[in-house]
Structure 1
Amino acid sequence: KLQELRDLGIDPFGQKFVRSGDSVTLHKEWDEFTKEELQEKEEESSVAIAGRLMTKRGKGKAGFAHVKDITGQIQIYVRKDQVGEEQFEIWKHADLGDIVGIKGVMFKTNTGELSVKAKEFVVLTKSLRPLPDKYHGLQDIEQRYRQRYLDLITNRESYNRFVNRSKIVTAVRNYLDSNGFLEVETPVLHNQAGGAAARPFITHHNALDIQLYLRIALELHLKRLIVGGMERVYEIGRVFRNEGIDTKHNPEFTMLETYAAYFDFKDVMDETEGIFKAAAKVVTSDGKINYQGTDVDFNKEFKRVHMVDLIKEKTGVDFWKEMSLEEARKIADEHKVHYEPYWQVGHIINEFFEQFCEDTIVDPTFVYGHPVEISPLAKKNADDPRFTDRFELFILGNEYANAFTELNDPIDQRQRFEAQVAERQAGNDEAEGIDEDYIEAMEYGMPPTGGLGIGIDRLVMLLTDAPSIRDVLLFPTMRPEKETKDSKKGKKNKKK
């Protein structure tokens, strides 16, 4: 059909087309009129629309179709005696998936459906491949992720989810901007991986002949800006972790990190609650969501509970008591809690929380007071230095934010880094190294600071009821299709 259009003298990949409106605008403007009223207003109802042909029916000298644009779709009616023989021939050659332009007038069919009666019909782009079945769409989940453009064409729910993602990110930005935060950009390529416990991607810079790391966090550069006098900063950016892929993890994902001078972790709790409530408002009318069958009300005040108190409530174990590593291991053995050889008491406390408490949290809850051993960048609690002024936000058993009063003592920071190095030597390959440049920056003086990290993708998953992180990433990381097919062939051959 491509050649047939060319034989008709038609460019199958046409030029600019000026539209007068979109489908939603037309429905808002003309839906209220009756069929008879539209007939009377025909001269003043001229419109020009464009979009993708999603349905087509009719034989002989007339036909109907639905055209889809960014806002929705509207029906068109094409008659030979209205568009002329040449353009009707173009209409007959049009296929589902073609991008078309129509100029015409508004009318209603006998069934009352608002439609555009075409006076001109042009093909703007010829589709060379058939669309997936309109009633079933893309049934193969892998294909949805691999060919997101087809998913967006055929699946309105998916399309709306990504529109909402943009609205959520905008709402987060607006909240922070209105509270005096400055958005900044920091390097993606780092001399040293730091700011989180994760395995980095490693690359090589040819001109400088040095090894570089794709960032695993935004933290350490942003805190350098706090030292430099930028009192409230944030960044929304991609970070990269060379780890597993599952429903909650993708090797590259979007993080929000904020830092505010003269804040402590309690101020950051207020900030975090404000961010989540602002984001929820743009995707719901009442601040309430349903995630995978469970209701969450963001209008309520978020709960706040110390990690040790929650463990005691769920297990009866009281980690407020001072205890040796041997005593902590004994308690872990009694409760069948696993621990690694290099773990200290704080690691065991955290494992108790993850095993017995995490999944029990439903409503938005700030869990604070993490052990110092698992919080190398957080300030120790003034009343009990075994714990830190750190919190995580949990909703429906999942962590959505991590924050703390930042450690601003360079001597303590060096000791924490050294403890991380010892962990790495003992077998934890995700432990951090010593960032000498960051310590030097701290030695110039960093004010008391509250820091926050939120995974944007998980936030979008929660607010759009998406079961997998791949559902909120336009182009998630996938194994190349050829390798996937070869792998499947290999498995079949083995079975034979």
Structure 2
Amino acid sequence: MAALQKRAVMLASIRRFFAARHVLEVETPLLCRAGVTDPNLHPFKTVLRKPGAAAGDPLYLQTSPEFAMKRLLAAGSGSIYQICKAFRNEESGRHHNPEFTLLEWYRVGFDLDRLIDEIDALLREICRDDLILEASERLSYRELFREHVGADPLSGSFEELAECSGTRGLPEAEALCGEDRSFWLDLLFSHLVQPRLGRGRIAFVRDFPAFLPSLARKKSDDPRVVERVEIFLEGLELGNGFHELTDAVEQEERFDRDLAVRKANGQSLPAKDERMLAALKNGLPDCSGIALGLDRLLMIMMQAESIADVLTFPTARA
């Protein structure tokens, strides 16, 4: 019952926060006709059958409400937020449940620095009765990687990455990652960097390599990186935010690259979200957005050992 009560207080605090800032709460479909193309995400798929029909149309449970919310932004909604369920297959463990609660919001006219300021303010408001937080940190992905891994994530050779992984207790990394730079960076960052982040304070890690999957725009002064931020607290990733990509042509090219990777990996090939692409073509306003995992945040606030401890019915007991 304690987790139920704490969750209710958290949700009320979030709604007060955005009401005071005149950000509109919205709802979008959980079942959509297009799935996510990101090779690292595995959507749940079902079939919609009309009465008496032998065949049906595929539908996907959404891994996040992002695409539908961007359609609202393009239609002139202004700044919006949503608290909803999201679904990701093949994700289960101490920090993962296939069904989880997301807070996602978009601020029209915000650059990434201004969004980070708002994330910081929101998290401090939510956590003020449970955590004493020191001043937050704003850190460079590249500098963190160099410091804790010992190689440059943008230019380091595979031989250098393999050497660094071996000397830091990850000798199996070379066999696992081969010549997939994205895989190398994900593995080394998650094992060697992330556990050190956000100890007693909120850590904002920004400016990620452009070849890692994201919907962020490239930095104008260095196209090798994108305007992306990840939020960490007590070594746990809470969210992922972008200065949002508004170029429909580049967005479709990224979808196509994702699908090529999925095909090479033998993964399913969901349809591209043509409605979202059409919205970008019509004009997405300049904005920044963020998705935060509320179950993980509740874990930290309650000092829980597992995400199952803060869920009413984890999937194993659903």
- Normalising by structure 2, we get a TM-score of 0.88
8 Å contact from structure 1 (residues 424, 432) kept in 2: no
C-alpha separation in 2, matches of 1:302 and 1:279: 15
The CA deviation at 1:421 is 1.0
The alignment of Structure 1 onto Structure 2 pairs a total of residues equal to: 303
Q: Residues 37 and 269 of structure 2 are in contact (CA less than 8 Å); yes or no, is this contact kept in structure 1?
A: no
Residues 1:311 and 2:158 are matched in the alignment? no
CA–CA separation in structure 1 for the residues paired with 2:270 and 2:291: 18
CA shift digits 1:428-455 (9 cap, x unpaired) = 7388753222111100111111010001
CA RMSD of the aligned region, Å? 2.1
1:360 matched to 2:207? The reply is no
Which amino acid is the alignment partner of residue 98 of structure 2?
Answer: P
Give the 3-state SS of the residue equivalent to 2:68 in structure 1. helix
Aligned mate of 1:220, from 51, 64, 67:
67
- Counterpart for residue 169 of structure 1: 11
Match of residue 343, structure 1, among 154, 160, 180: 180
Q: Deviations over 1:186-212 (max 9, x none)?
A: 001110112864212211111182111
Equivalent position amino acid for 2:24 in 1: L
Which residue of 2 is the match for residue 455 of structure 1?
Answer: 293
Bigger shift: residues 410-419 or 189-198: 189-198
CA shift at 1:352, angstroms?
2.9
In structure 2, what is the equivalent of residue 31 of structure 1? none
In 1: Cα distance, 2:148 partner to 2:268 partner: 29
Shift of 1:342: 6.7
Query: What is aligned with 2:168?
Result: none
Instruction: Work out whether residues 328 and 348 of structure 1, in 8 Å CA contact, stay in contact via their aligned partners in 2.
Output: no
Distance (Å, rounded) in 1 between the aligned partners of 2:163 and 2:18: 46
Q: What CA deviation, in whole Å up to 9, does each residue of 1:219-250 have, x standing for no partner? A: 00001111111121111001111224211111
- Correspondent of 1:400 among 238, 242, 255: 238
Which digits, 9 at most, give the CA deviation of each residue in 1:147-205, with x for residues without a partner? xxxxxxxxxxxx22321111011111111121121000000111011286421221111
TM-score by structure 1 length? 0.58
Residue of structure 2 aligned with 1:328, choices 153, 157, 161: 157
The runs of at least 4 aligned residues of structure 1 exceeding 4 Å deviation read 430-433
How far apart, in 1, do the equivalents of 2:83 and 2:160 lie? 41
> Structure 1 residues 277 and 218, CA, compared in 2 at 3 Å: closer, same or farther?
same
The equivalences for 1:54-69 within 5 A come to: none
Q: Of residues 175, 178, 187 in structure 1, which corresponds to 2:20?
A: 178
Quote the Cα distance in structure 2 between the aligned partners of 1:202 and 1:433: 12
**Separation in 1 of the partners of 2:307 and 2:270?**
26
Give 1:473's aligned residue.
311
- Answer yes or no: is the 8 Å Cα contact 1:256–1:455 preserved in 2: yes
After TM superposition, the structure 1 = structure 2 runs for residues 17-32 of structure 1, keeping only pairs within 5 Å, are none
Q: How far apart are residue 217 of structure 1 and its match?
A: 0.9
What percentage of aligned pairs have identical amino acids? 31
Which residue does 1:74 correspond to in 2? none
**The one of 111, 114, 121 aligned to 1:264:** 111
Could you report, residue by residue, the CA deviation over 1:104-132 in whole angstroms, capped at 9, with x for unpaired residues?
Answer: xxxxxxxxxxxxxxxxxxxxxxxxxxxxx
Q: CA deviation at 1:375?
A: 3.0
C-alpha contact (below 8 Å) 2:47/2:58 kept by paired residues: yes
Deviation at 1:378, TM superposition (A): 0.9
Is the partner of 1:444 in helix, strand or coil?
helix
Matched residue, 1:211: 58
* Structure-1 separation of matches of 2:32 and 2:98: 17
Q: 417, 422, 437: which one pairs with 2:275?
A: 437
Superposed, 1:123-272 pairs within 5 Å as: 159-194=1-36, 197-207=40-50, 209-272=56-119
> Secondary structure at 1:358's aligned position in 2?
helix
* Post-superposition offset of 1:479: 5.9
Instruction: Say which structure, 1 or 2, has more relative contact order (CA 8 Å, 6+ apart).
Output: 2
Helix, strand or coil at the partner of 2:225? coil
- Whether the 8 Å contact between 1:347 and 1:373 is mirrored in structure 2 is no
Whole-Å Cα distance in 2 between the matches of residues 409 and 314 of structure 1?
Answer: 35
Query: Aligned partners of 1:370 and 1:350: how far apart in 2?
Result: 11
Which of 104, 110, 121 is equivalent to 1:274?
121
Distance (Å, rounded) in 2 between the aligned partners of 1:390 and 1:431:
26
- Which piece of structure 1 moves more, 450-459 or 241-250? 241-250
Alignment-mate amino acid for residue 306 of structure 1: S
Structure ID, larger Rg = 1
Alpha-carbon contact 2:44-2:88 (below 8 Å) kept:
yes
> Residues 416 and 266 (structure 1 numbering): CA distance in 2 closer, same or farther, change over 3 Å?
same
In structure 2, what residue type is equivalent to 1:403?
G
Query: Which amino acid is 2:250 matched to?
Result: D
